[in-house]
Structure formats: structure tokens, C-alpha cells
A and B are shown apart, each in its own frame.
Chain A
Amino acid sequence: MPMTDNSAGKIGAAPEGARARDRLALLTADNAAVPLPASVQAITAILLAALLIALPWLGLGYRFLSIAITTLYTAIGLYGLGLQFGQAGIMSVGHAALMGVGAYASAILSVQLDLGFWTSLPFAMALSAIVGGVIGLPTLRVGGQHYIIITFCFCALFVIVLTNGGTFTGSATGLDVGSVTPLPGINFDKLSNNYYLVLAALFLALAATHLIGISRYGRTLRAIRENEQLARSVGINVDLHKLGVLMVSGLFAGLAGVLQLYYLRHISPTLFGAFPSLYLALMVMLGGARYLYGPLIGAVIVNFLPEVLNLDPVDSRIAYGVCLLLVILLLPGGVGAGIKNIYCAIAGGSVTQGGGANGRA
């Protein structure tokens, strides 16, 4: 039984050199369609959750925890991007602007109407979703790189509007907000509590992504990604689902934007411009959009790489570029694909037989 498309039927009779090549192909293949056993998925989820929950207790310091928070709210936004790109095949390089819509909506509601974190959150998420759907309208006419350019234009336009918005948007200086409205007994001014708030949201995003992945909805999105014409001919309303997934992606972006706002307590247009948007696209490609932990892996790599290697901003951009090239050349499915393939190689062929039918790592 073939495990991957490019190695099918070749193993066994092949000479030594070809066999090594097959083994390399196994490690670099994009295996997202083949599910891991349910037990492996459960153990991975529990270990990861334990690690993330224990993080503030490991004594890694204030700076580490700050980067961790940045990583986590970025990852939440990436799960939206992962859904639209990984599942439905619609890439965007203006995703930071969608996070910005949520962040600015929440900030403006705070400044103008004195609404706090919890009350403004649903409005901000809804607005991000609506804007996501509206900038998604061109996907009904154009696809692929043409749509990517449109998202980039939206991003540029968004920054221009913000910088010229007078006191309403705070112009280039931006807006300030207070801290997250405390829950009984929990004060979010404490950094570790803020971390847990963002972590809870990340768990929600992960759970939602997993459930979408194994559901009929997820399969419908993958059908559209794989073959739009065939999807229509089996009765899928492709146009509606394309707009729908961009709106769901907008919900994630809005949540991430509001968390970003209340962590930084100050936002300005440059946070949501072209560079942050390209970083989001970079992260989702590095990590692997089709894998459940891919977006999180991508966010960890991009946020921690400069810290670990002690790089300044210019050097880190070069490092990101090198990473992206390596991933495109060696691991088209992203680092998530690589980790899954290494596991598959260690566990042997049993992986293809087993477990849940969710088609994700």
C-alpha cells in the first residue's frame, strides 16, 4: 500500500542509491492527507498542553515570557490563515491587516465608548470576520497569485487609512488602552496571567482547527482546495464556502488582534502593515499550513530564532529568508511535515493503517 505519492511501489526492488533517495523522499513528502493514529494525536496534544501550561513556572524570565505571549497570539492569527490557506488553499499576504481590524475596533470601542476587553471582543471579532469576507469577494473571480496581490493592496490601504484617521484612529501615533478587565481573583496586569489568557485563546483556536479538520466542513474546504470544478460537480457551493472560510479566518484574526492590543496596550499602524503581514505568511509556510501544529511551530521559529541566535532585525530577516528557501526546497509541507515524517519513519509503516480519519498531523 503506497504511503506517499512519490514513493509508491518503488521500495523493495530498488537498488541501493534509489532506496536512499526513496527514504529521503519519505522524509520530505507532504503527508498531511494521511492521518496519525488517534493515540499518537492524543499524547502529542497532552504533552504540548502540559509544556505550555508549565512554561511560566520554568523560571525562564520576563523577556522569554513576553516573547512567548507574542508567539501565542500570533499563532492564533496563524490558525485562521492556516485554515484558509492550508485547508481551502486561499493564501493571503495581508493577514496582519485583518488582525489590525480587530485590534483597532477594540481600541476605538475602548477610547470612544469605554468598552472593556470582554465586551469589545465579540464586536472586534465580528468586524474582522465581515472585513475578511468583503476582501474575499475577489476570490470569486480571481484565484492564486492574483488574489494574493489584492490582499497585499488591502494591507497597504488599511495602513494609509489608519495613519490619516485623525484622533479617531490616533494617526501614526496609534491608540492606547487600559489593561484587561480583571476577572474575580485574576488580575491580568501580571504577565503570567496575561500569558494564560492568551494560552486559553490558543487552546480554543487549536480545538476549533482540529474539529474543523476532522469535520465534514473541513473536508468540503479541502475538496475546494484540491479541485474546484469537481467540488462544484458533487454539489459543493464553492463561492459560499470560499467567503465563509475567509470570514472564519477573520474571527481568528480578530481574536488575535484584540489579544495583541491588550498585551501591548498600545497599537500603531506599522504593526499591521506589509512587513508583519509577510511575516505571518512566512510563519504559516515555515510551520506547515496543513498540519495541526504547523502554524504554532512557524510562530515559535520566527519569534524565537532572533533570540536564540542573538540576531539583530536585519540579520534575522536574512535568516528568515534562508529558512523559507530551505523549507520550500526540502520540505514543501513545512517543518510540521518534517516532524510527522520523522515520526512515521521511526514508527514504520503502521502509521498509514491506523486511527482517526482526520487527515492532519
Chain B
Amino acid sequence: MAALEVRGLRKQFGGVVALNGIDLDIDTDRVVGIVGPNGSGKTTLFNVVTGVHPATGGTVFWQGQDITNIGAHRIARKRLVRTFQQAMSFPGLTVDENVRIAWEQGRRGGGRWASPGLILDFVGLAPLGKAIAGSLPFGSLRRLGLAVALGVSPELLLLDEPGAGLNDSEAQAFAAVIAQLPPQGIGVCLIDHDMDMMSELCDRLIVLDFGTKIAEGPPAEVLADPKVREVYLGPDKNAAVS
């Protein structure tokens, strides 16, 4: 049984069906990537799984428990933690305090970090501890977002476009940090558009289109899938003839 099991998940915003019966199994010992064109429902999937938006239908099981619609803070306390597409922080507080807030929440029932300083060391923000979060450059803000999420001592981390807005070297450094997580017992499920990074980083890829899962498997296999190629490159004329 996978740690996170999503069964027939549906989400409608008025007449728009953002998620149309999604089934997923995500384990915590690897990096799973979710890709798909804009509007395919990737972020909505994270939002519904983590309780930011209520589900219209379907069920989310986390470690065997039904966590559908139990509220965002309760889901986080069960160590299923997410980051946001827009780099989020507590902007008026210092970097130290940002991480300490999350660490104090994660410490309930035993966290994995002995002190918040260790998290800053891990993401490489230790020298900026006294800086005000709102004054950080964007790359550091991304790291802070990861540090805050790690502070909650997650067992599975849902990262929503962690590389968005970063330059190549920053994105590579960030990917290196993410790759260190599964060996430490922190599963990673991430959304990103950078296919090179995703195929290098992920053990498995899931492709969404119009709120449904159209492919799943090892990156090389998924990217060779004609359905996936059609979604990304438009209908293949040769394929249409045959």
C-alpha cells in the first residue's frame, strides 16, 4: 500500500472540471514528478490533497487514513506538507523565525530536526538567519519556502514548481537539495515544467491533461508515450495517418 493514495478525486469550480477522477499512488521513498500543460490540474491536485480547497468527490488516503477535507492544518500535522507555486514566507519576520515557526509545529509528536538551525544549514540559508524574509532575493526565498516546509518534519513533501523563477545554476543547486530528501526518509512529489530536470530528478513521472491522468511510469518511457507527445507537441500527423 502506498503512503498517499488518491481515489477518484474530483474538483469542480462552478462548471469547470479541474480534476476529473484522478487515481494516484505515491510512495515516500522516491521522487515523483507531476507534469502536464497549463490548466491540466496539477496545482489543483496539490490544493485538494492538502486541504486548501475542498474536494468535490473522491477520497484521499494518507498512511491508510481518510484525510479528505479534514482541513489544511490537520493534514500538515500528519506530516503531509506542501509548498506553494508563488514563493511564500512570513515576509515581515526574520528567516530564523520563519523556520522556527514551522519547526515548533513539526516538533509535536517528535520532529526529525533537533533545532531549526539544522534546517537552515541543510538548505544553505544559515548565513541569512537574521535577514527579514521579505527582503530576500528570489532564489533565497525559494530555499526559505523549502526550509519552512521541511521544518514541519514531512514524510511526504509536495513541491509546487520549486524551480519557477530560478536561473539555471540556482535550479540545479535546488534540484541537488531535493535529490537528498528521499534517502533521508522524506518522499518528494513535485510539479515542474523543466523536462530535463524532471527526467533527471524523478524516479517516476505522472502526466495530467484536462484533469485526468494520461500516463504514468519511468520518465523515459512516459516521455516516449504518443499520448504525452500529443499533449505537448500537438497531434502527430504521421500517427494520425497510421
Chain A positions within 8 Å of B, measured between CB atoms, are 1-2, 4-6, 8, 30, 32-34, 216, 219-220, 222-223, 225-227, 229-238, 352-353, 357, 359
Contacts and interface: CB of A to CB of B under 8 A. Distances in A.
A326 B93 CA distance: 25
Contacts of A216: 104
Nearest to B102: A234
Contact of B130 (A34, A223, A233, A237): A34
B126 interface: no
Interface string B78-106: 00011010001111111011001110111
Interface stretch (B69-77, B169-177, B209-217, B221-229): B69-77
Contacts of A357: 96-97, 100
B94 A33 contact: yes
A243 B84 CA distance: 26
Contacts, number: 106
6 tightest Cβ-Cβ pairs between the two chains A and B: A226-B90, A5-B135, A235-B76, A235-B105, A232-B72, A234-B102
B132 interface: yes
A2 B131 contact: yes
B58 interface: no
B138 to A, nearest CB: 14
A1 B131 contact: yes
B110 to A, nearest CB: 14
Contacts of B88: 227, 229-230
B214 to A, nearest CB: 28
6 contacts: A4-B132, A30-B92, A227-B88, A233-B76, A234-B102, A234-B152
Given A232-B73, A234-B76, A237-B73, A2 B135 contact: yes
Nearest to A225: B92
How many chain B residues sit at the interface, stated as a range, is 35 or more
Interface of B: 50, 52, 71-74, 76-77, 81-82, 84, 88-94, 96-97, 100-102, 104-106, 108, 128, 130-132, 134-135, 148-149, 151-152
A33 B97 CA distance: 9
A233 B72 contact: yes
Given A4-B132, A234-B152, A219 B76 contact: no
A226 B91 contact: yes
Contact of A234 (B71, B131, B151): B151
A142 B81 CA distance: 26
A222 B84 contact: no
B105 A234 contact: yes
A219 B132 contact: no
Contact of B81 (A30, A32, A223, A234): A234
A33 B93 contact: yes
A33 B105 contact: no
A222 B94 contact: no
Contact of A230 (B74, B89, B130): B89
A233 B132 contact: no
Nearest to A358: B97
B90 A236 contact: no
A232 B84 CA distance: 12
Given A1-B130, A33-B97, A223-B90, A233 B81 contact: yes
Nearest to A216: B104
A235 B102 CA distance: 8
Contacts of B106: 234-235
Nearest to B132: A5
A230 B134 contact: no
A223 B101 contact: yes
Given A8-B135, A235-B76, A359 B94 contact: yes
Nearest to B82: A233
A25 to B, nearest CB: 12
Nearest to A354: B130
A229 B94 CA distance: 18
Given A226-B91, A226-B92, A238 B73 contact: yes
A238 B77 CA distance: 13
A4 B133 CA distance: 10
B91 to A, nearest CB: 6
Contact of B93 (A222, A229, A232, A238): A222
B105 A34 contact: no
Contacts of A223: 90, 93, 101
Given A33-B97, A230-B148, 13 more contacts: A1-B128, A227-B89, A227-B91, A229-B52, A230-B84, A230-B89, A232-B73, A233-B50, A234-B101, A234-B152, A235-B74, A236-B73, A357-B100
Contacts of B149: 233-234
Contacts of B92: 30, 32-33, 222, 225-226
Contacts of A233: 50, 52, 72-73, 76, 81-82, 84, 149
